[in-house]
Amino acid sequence: MSMMSEFKAFAMRGNVIDLAVGVVIGAAFGKIVTSLVNDVVMPPIGNLIGGIDFSSYKYVLTAAGADGKGEVAVQYGAFINTMIQFTIIAFAIFLVVKAINRVSKKEEEAPTPPPADVVLLTEIRDLLKQGK
């Protein structure tokens, strides 16, 4: 088997395609969550703590030079935004997994009826036990 045919067989497996779709949807979902945090959640919080853009909070280690370059700062406001984004994404994934588990439990709980030949053999066995 040539390398190209092996690669084609690998790339066309269902799991790889499902993973690719998941990555694309995840990237789009990440953008939505970023917008939610930056544009919806953080402005009211910033307003409550003094009307300052929360993502601009930083601790300056070295001030910028006269040309406006060279500032070294710890961007803790951006870090807090990222932590909130992570929490929202983790909660959303938790809800999706919980819903999937609920659906799969319902499918597992419904037992499949035994085939007709098994039912017939069970009846014969029960009649033989009774001595008829």
List the domain boundaries for the chain: 3-130
Q: How far apart are CA 4 and CA 12, in angstroms?
A: 12
**Residue (of 45, 72, 48, 42) closest to 60 by Cα position:** 72
22, 96 Cβ separation under 8 angstroms: no
Identify which has the larger pLDDT, 64 or 75. Answer: 75
Confidence of residue 89 (pLDDT cuts 50, 70, 90): confident
**Residue (of 32, 83, 80) closest to 55 by Cα position:** 80
**Across 30-34, 46-50, 56-60, least confident range:** 46-50
Tell me the pLDDT tens digit for each residue of 37-49.
778 877 787 788 7
Mean pLDDT value of segment 54-83: 83
Mean pLDDT value of segment 8-20: 75
The answer, yes or no, to whether residue 109 has pLDDT greater than 70, is no
Q: Given this model, what pLDDT does residue 60 score?
A: 87
Q: Given this model, what pLDDT does residue 31 score?
A: 85
Q: SS3 for 82?
A: helix
Q: Indicate the CATH number of 3-130 among 3.30.43.10, 3.40.640.10, 1.10.3720.10, 1.10.1200.120.
A: 1.10.1200.120
The answer, yes or no, to whether residue 120 has pLDDT greater than 70, is yes
